[in-house]
Structure 1
Amino acid sequence: MTIKQLNIQQDYALFAKQSHQTSFHRHYAIELVFCKKGSFDISTETNTYKNLLTALIPSNFPHQFQCVNADCQMLFLDPLSNIGQYITNTYLINSKKEILINQSIEYLFTDTETIVTNLSNDSKNNFEIDFRIENCLSKIQNTPESTNLSIKQLSELSYLSESRLSHLFKEETGISIRQYILWNKIRLAVEKCNKGKSLTTAAHSAGFVDSSHFNKTFFNMFGSSPFFALKS
């Protein structure tokens, strides 16, 4: 599988470059990193791991990444997808918010193409979730690209106050509603960029105020600029 640039789908994102370095960042997605040639380093707030071949990074976990002249590929998984839920429940439930690099996760990386192929048939609703949050997830996923969806609108949809909705969403999904909205905005913007649109046009189409807002949000989530990440 050759990935020349960042490609974000509904439930996952793929990214690969031979040389890649990020600042400290955290993102909504669970991240699987694997290296078929060379190795990579990851730093957290408490540890530095060098010469790694595989790593599994929990959602919202601050880290810094570096690889030089290595064949590294990163698979970002939506924690609310079936495979995201499976990995969380199987590997991350007792991880105490630390990256996993032990041998127990290595088999995850032996058949990555099959994992990615199956993601297109993945469904978010095969695990138990409050129906009001399920309605919000569906609304966020299916909102037209140029529409700015607010928490107030979602609270009216769910018949909950904004504060109660925010609390229940975090309780049911493990992430904040704002993060989930931003993840979907970035997904839409990247999709536009990959179709040849400029960063400015893509940012506006996805509901960002301007390209600066998109750049800042992207950097905070991926640790590098969208220009670098999307460059072939």
Structure 2
Amino acid sequence: MSKPVKDNTSIAYLWQDQALLITSEYKQYRINHSADLLIVSLEGSITFTTPCSSAPGNAKVLVVPQRQAINIDFNNYLTAIITLDCFGAGKQFIKDHFLFETVNNIWCEFHCENDFVSQLQYIYAERPENSCCRARLDQFLSQGSLPKLSMDHRIRKAMLWVLNDPADTLTNKEVATMLGLSEHHFMRLFKKSYGLSFSKFKQCCRIKAFFKGYGESQNITDAAHYAGFVDLPHFSNTYKKILGHAPSAFFHKNNPLQVMCA
């Protein structure tokens, strides 16, 4: 497949509990707060440093653990940023299909024997329908053969409440009471079951709802209210806390963001 021609559009695909962003505009990524990230340059090597780095590293593929401080310079290359699921299915795929060395807690790819990068190039170049994009990504990141993880039915119910209405303002205590649990027990059980705190899960769902609203309205204020944010400062603070950068990195007139939701 020939290398895709870059334009000034960034593409965000949202599917299941994961997301894919492909962009040539994003210059820096400083810290990842909420999920493991798979970062793939579709062109040359990107440069990264961590607080423990004695010198910058270079790689075309990185896996960055959640809450890992890192500074990445994408060198203006077309780059895909993929959130990996909390249960490690995506990371298991990477372990099975890539050879990595570990540098300061960052996985750096130095050999690959599959066409994962060509699939990402296709997604950027062809802008396929979301169902096609989802099928291609699921083929690589889940393989369809991973076991279903058991989860407490009360935690699953709480997750469904948030997924169905991310703008709901129920407190952690109110949700716990509705499930017949103490707040402390509920919070501990949720994080043990899902890997994130319930508060962080709600924030992630609101950010995803924002992207869905933005994809429909192309208006930041309307999309933020749709997702349940009180005002733009509330949205901006949560966005930066979850994604590690300010929303202004993408939402400006010179860099339209195309959003597609599963």
TM-score by length of 2: 0.72
Superposition RMSD in Å? 3.4
Counterpart position of 1:68:
75
Counterpart position of 2:64:
57
Letter in 1 for 2:197: S
CA deviation map 1:101-134 (0-9, x unaligned): 1447775845655652547997x99102222212
Distance 1:11 1:222, change over 3 A: same
Q: Of 224, 235, 238, which residue of structure 2 is paired with 1:203?
A: 224
In structure 2, stretches of 5+ residues that fail to align are 121-134, 257-262
In structure 1, stretches of 5+ residues that fail to align are none
Distance 1:137 1:146, change over 3 A: closer
In 1, the alpha carbon distance for the partners of 2:235 and 2:137 equals: 27
What is the CA-CA distance between 1:135 and the residue it aligns to? 1.8
The answer to whether structure 1 residue 159 and structure 2 residue 180 are counterparts is yes
In 2, the alpha carbon distance for the partners of 1:106 and 1:27 equals: 30
The residue correspondences of 1:136-147 to structure 2 (distance < 5 A) are 136-143=158-165, 145-147=166-168
The answer to whether structure 1 residue 133 and structure 2 residue 140 are counterparts is no
The residue correspondences of 1:54-203 to structure 2 (distance < 5 A) are 54-80=61-87, 83-84=89-90, 86-87=92-93, 98-103=105-110, 107=114, 109-110=116-117, 112=119, 115-118=136-139, 126-143=148-165, 145-203=166-224
In 2, the alpha carbon distance for the partners of 1:8 and 1:40 equals: 24
TM-score by length of 1: 0.80
Q: Assess if the C-alpha contact under 8 Å between 1:14 and 1:76 holds in 2.
A: yes
Counterpart position of 1:24:
30
Q: Assess if the C-alpha contact under 8 Å between 1:79 and 1:85 holds in 2.
A: no
The residue correspondences of 1:2-21 to structure 2 (distance < 5 A) are 4-21=10-27
Distance 1:63 1:99, change over 3 A: same
In 2, the alpha carbon distance for the partners of 1:50 and 1:106 equals: 22
Bigger Cα Rg: 2
Identity of aligned residues (%): 22
